[in-house]
Structure formats: structure tokens, C-alpha cells
């Protein structure tokens, strides 16, 4: 192929600076960029590569993929669907996390990316998906990109971290005791009413509570123990008289909630939302029972590390987010001082110091 005259090249090569560093100048935008080299041969190769890329971007892409294919034969054919499928497979089959990842892969906003080759994805494609998606689109698409970068399938992020829109969740709040009483009063199904009551007393997730069996109840030690579906960690929480009265109404063998255990978590959430809509209760989901438990635990003086263990979170920031609605009253320091030191030494005119007893 005949090479174009130098005057038709988009980039111009020149020397600049006291150390003879080579620079490129874009003849269209007149922007100058340092090649960070003083070697003429290396600078010439970089200059030719830039001009070839400007002349035929698609050809440059194929050349780059040819080099990459030496170490990764599937690089050119790897699509976002493969990335999502591989990422989901890194989690246990049937786990709630894997189910959420697979559901995110079916998001209408992400669907246009599924057949798109990973290396041909542009930032505009990511922005288009984010603009047509919701909070979950932002969260999971970010995870998919990070997974591809970690696996070496992307040389660098398509959309840099600082360019991703901030994730803004809808404000959540706890279910109040009055609202919980109204929900139980409206619910006519005894199994579902007991299910909501147990969510209130234990603060467990919908899936964990629905999956409880009679083997999880230790009546001798008044303890509910189970393995969390999300983290596979064991959890134990003691129950009181009110919770016991609820447990006594449930089956004595097998699953405590035989029907609800077979229902998908999304369907249980939909049923709960319908109950709340009928009562005019807005801004809560079945997950908000966890917020309620956290706030009540904080107001009751439960140590934070124990509340973390009960809710299944290892991060203090996560637990504080759950309990952010709780108002904790700090006791009067003067009263505490008087209880700790009932006798105080005060100076007088007759004596420099005199023991004076102060009432608590």
C-alpha cells in the first residue's frame, strides 16, 4: 500500500525542549502531546501508528485484537452476556446473590449490551444503559465492568470510576410499632400474619425467616438458630414471650411456613406491598422490618457488635445506616457524676476543705 505524503498525515512529529523530547501535534485540533521519548526510531513508530489509527480506526482495532489474541483467543468474541454468565457462576448455585445477578442480566437497560463484544463497547453504550435504567442498573453494570477488568478481559475500564453517576437509593425508613399492629390486624391469613410477626421480632431477612424449620427452634435455651442464605453464616437470636406465642401457633414438624417457603422473595415482597397500599402505609417494604429491629435495638441499648451479628453485617457503616433513624437520648452527666461520687470536697472560709455530702 502506497504511503500518503507527510503533509496529509493528521499528526505531525517534531522535537521540543532542551532534552530533545519528541512531540506529536494534531493538525486538526492543534493539540500537542509528548511521546515521552528521545529515541527517533521509537518516536517514528508511535507517529506512524497514530496516523494509521486516525486513517482507519477499524483496522487499528483488528490489529490490536490480533496481538491480544495471542494470549486470549476469545477476546474478540467475548460479549457482555458471557461476562455476566461467568460472574454469576462465581457464586453458589441457588444463592440469593446469584439470582440477583442473573436477574440484573435480564434488565431491559442492559439487554442491548448482551450481544455487544466487550472490546467494542464504548462509553456512550454504558451511558445509554445507565440513562434508561434504574439504581440496580448502575450497581450491577459497574460490577460487571470491574469483574471484566479483574479477569484481564478489558485492558482498562470503559467508564472510569469517577465518571459513573452516583448511586442514589430511595430513602428507606423503619416500620413503626403502630404500622406493624395495623398490618397484623388487616392480615387474615394466619401463616402470613405469623410470618410478619416473626420478621418484627427477629429482624431476619424475608428468605431467612420464610425458610425456618422446627429444627431451628431451641425451646430449652429459647433460641432461634439458622444459616443465612446470603452469607452462609450461622445466626442465633433469643426470643421472648411475645415471640414464643407466635412460634406456638406454627407447625411442630418440618417448615414453620410451608407455603411461604415455596414462594419467591419478590412475590412475598409484592404481597406485603399490597397490604401496605391497602392501609395507606407508604415508603416501606418487607425489608424495612430489619430497619425497625436495628432502631429498636439501638434505643434499648443493645451493643453495636451484637446488633451487627443479629443483622448479619460486618461493616459498622452498614449497621449505622440501618439504625440512622433512631434517636438515642444521652443521660445527664451531672446525675451520673453524683451517682459515682456521692461525696464532694468543697472549700469554705473556716477550713480550706470540708467534706460536704450531696444528695444524688
pLDDT at 328: 60
Domain span at 18? 6-55
Question: What is the number of structural domains in the chain?
Answer: 4
Please indicate, yes or no, whether residues 303 and 191 belong to a single structural domain of this protein.
yes
Q: Does the pLDDT at position 317 exceed 60? A: no
169 in any annotated domain: no
pLDDT at 266: 85
* pLDDT, tens digit (0-9, with 9 covering 90-100), for 157-201: 999 988 898 888 777 788 999 999 999 999 999 999 999 999 999
Please indicate, yes or no, whether residues 299 and 344 belong to a single structural domain of this protein.
no
Please indicate, yes or no, whether residues 200 and 306 belong to a single structural domain of this protein.
yes
Please indicate, yes or no, whether residues 193 and 317 belong to a single structural domain of this protein.
yes
Q: Count the residues in the chain.
A: 360
CA distance 124 to 113: 11
Please indicate, yes or no, whether residues 202 and 312 belong to a single structural domain of this protein.
yes
Place of cell 439504581: 135
Please indicate, yes or no, whether residues 86 and 33 belong to a single structural domain of this protein.
no
Please indicate, yes or no, whether residues 202 and 306 belong to a single structural domain of this protein.
yes
pLDDT bin (cut points 50, 70, 90) of residue 17 is confident
SS3 annotation, the chain: CCCCCHHHCCEEEEEECCCCEEEEEECCCCCEEECCCCCHHHHHHHHHHHHHHHHCHHHHHHHHHHHHHCCCCCCCCCEHHHHHHHHHHCCCCCCHHHHHHHHHCCCCCCHHHCCCEHHHCCHHHHHHHHHHCCHHHHHHHHHHHHHHHHCCCCCCCCCCHHHCCCCCCCCCCCCCHHHHHHHHHHCCCHHHHHHHHHHHHHCCCHHHHHCCEHHHEECCCCEEEEECCCCCCEEEEECCHHHHHHHCCCCCCCECCCCHHHCCHHHHHHHHHHHHHHHCCCCCCCCHHHHHHHHHHHHCCCCHHHHHHHHCCCCHHHHHHHCCCCCCCCCCHHHHHHHHCCEEEECCCCCCCEEEECCC
CA distance 289 to 209: 12
Q: What mean pLDDT value characterizes the chain?
A: 83
Q: Are 101 and 91 in contact (CB under 8 A)?
A: yes
Give the Å distances, CA to CA, from 333 to 76, 336, 339: 68, 5, 10
pLDDT at 316: 55
Please indicate, yes or no, whether residues 353 and 316 belong to a single structural domain of this protein.
no
pLDDT at 229: 77
68 in any annotated domain: no
Q: Which range, of 65-79, 99-113, 332-346, averages the lowest pLDDT? A: 332-346
Q: Are 228 and 312 in contact (CB under 8 A)?
A: yes
Please indicate, yes or no, whether residues 186 and 302 belong to a single structural domain of this protein.
yes
* pLDDT, tens digit (0-9, with 9 covering 90-100), for 43-79: 999 998 888 777 766 565 666 665 565 567 787 788 9
Query: CATH no. for residue 209?
Result: 1.10.443.10
pLDDT at 330: 65
Please indicate, yes or no, whether residues 182 and 314 belong to a single structural domain of this protein.
yes
Please indicate, yes or no, whether residues 31 and 156 belong to a single structural domain of this protein.
no
CB atoms within 10 A of CB 20: 11
292 in any annotated domain: yes
65 in any annotated domain: no
60 in any annotated domain: no
63 in any annotated domain: no
Of 299, 101, 98, 97, the residue nearest 205 (C-alpha): 97
pLDDT at 60: 59
- Grid coordinates of 248: 406456638
- Grid coordinates of 229: 442464605
22 in any annotated domain: yes
Among 163, 192, 211, the domain-final residue is 163
Among 55, 72, 96, the domain-final residue is 55
Please indicate, yes or no, whether residues 139 and 228 belong to a single structural domain of this protein.
no
pLDDT at 119: 84
Amino acid at each position: 500500500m502506497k504511503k500518503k505524503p507527510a503533509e496529509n498525515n493528521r499528526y505531525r512529529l517534531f522535537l521540543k525542549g532542551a532534552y530533545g523530547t519528541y512531540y506529536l501535534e494534531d493538525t486538526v485540533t492543534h493539540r500537542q502531546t509528548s511521546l515521552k521519548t528521545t529515541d527517533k526510531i521509537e518516536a517514528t513508530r508511535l507517529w506512524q501508528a497514530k496516523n494509521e489509527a486516525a486513517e482507519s480506526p477499524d483496522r487499528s482495532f483488528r490489529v490490536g485484537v490480533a496481538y491480544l489474541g495471542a494470549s486470549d483467543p476469545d477476546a474478540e468474541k467475548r460479549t457482555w452476556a458471557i461476562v455476566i454468565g461467568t460472574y454469576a457462576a462465581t457464586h453458589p448455585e441457588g444463592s440469593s446473590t446469584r439470582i440477583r445477578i442473573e436477574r440484573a442480566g435480564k434488565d431491559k437497560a442492559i439487554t442491548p449490551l448482551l450481544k455487544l463484544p466487550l472490546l467494542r463497547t464504548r462509553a456512550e453504550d454504558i451511558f445509554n444503559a445507565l440513562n434508561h435504567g434504574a439504581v440496580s442498573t448502575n450497581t450491577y453494570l459497574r460490577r460487571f465492568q470491574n469483574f471484566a477488568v479483574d479477569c484481564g478481559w478489558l485492558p482498562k475500564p470503559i467508564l472510569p470510576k469517577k465518571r459513573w453517576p452516583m448511586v442514589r437509593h430511595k430513602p428507606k425508613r423503619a416500620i413503626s410499632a403502630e404500622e406493624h399492629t395495623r398490618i397484623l390486624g388487616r392480615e387474615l391469613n394466619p401463616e402470613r400474619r405469623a410470618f410478619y410477626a416473626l420478621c418484627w421480632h427477629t429482624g431476619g431477612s424475608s428468605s431467612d425467616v420464610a425458610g425456618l424449620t422446627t429444627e431451628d427452634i431451641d425451646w430449652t435455651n429459647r433460641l432461634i438458630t439458622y444459616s443465612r442464605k446470603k452469607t452462609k453464616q450461622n445466626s442465633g437470636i433469643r426470643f421472648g414471650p411475645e415471640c414464643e406465642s407466635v412460634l406456638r401457633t406454627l407447625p411442630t414438624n418440618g417448615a414453620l411456613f410451608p407455603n411461604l417457603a415455596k414462594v419467591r422473595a419478590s412475590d412475598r415482597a409484592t404481597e406485603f406491598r399490597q397490604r401496605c397500599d391497602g392501609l395507606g402505609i407508604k415508603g416501606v417494604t418487607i425489608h424495612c422490618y430489619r430497619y425497625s429491629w436495628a432502631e429498636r435495638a439501638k434505643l434499648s441499648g443493645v451493643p453495636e457488635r451484637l446488633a451487627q451479628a443479629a443483622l448479619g453485617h460486618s461493616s459498622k457503616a452498614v449497621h449505622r445506616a440501618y439504625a440512622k433513624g433512631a434517636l438515642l437520648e444521652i443521660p445527664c452527666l451531672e446525675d451520673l457524676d453524683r451517682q459515682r461520687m456521692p461525696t464532694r470536697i468543697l472549700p469554705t472560709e473556716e477550713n480550706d476543705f470540708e467534706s460536704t455530702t450531696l444528695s444524688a
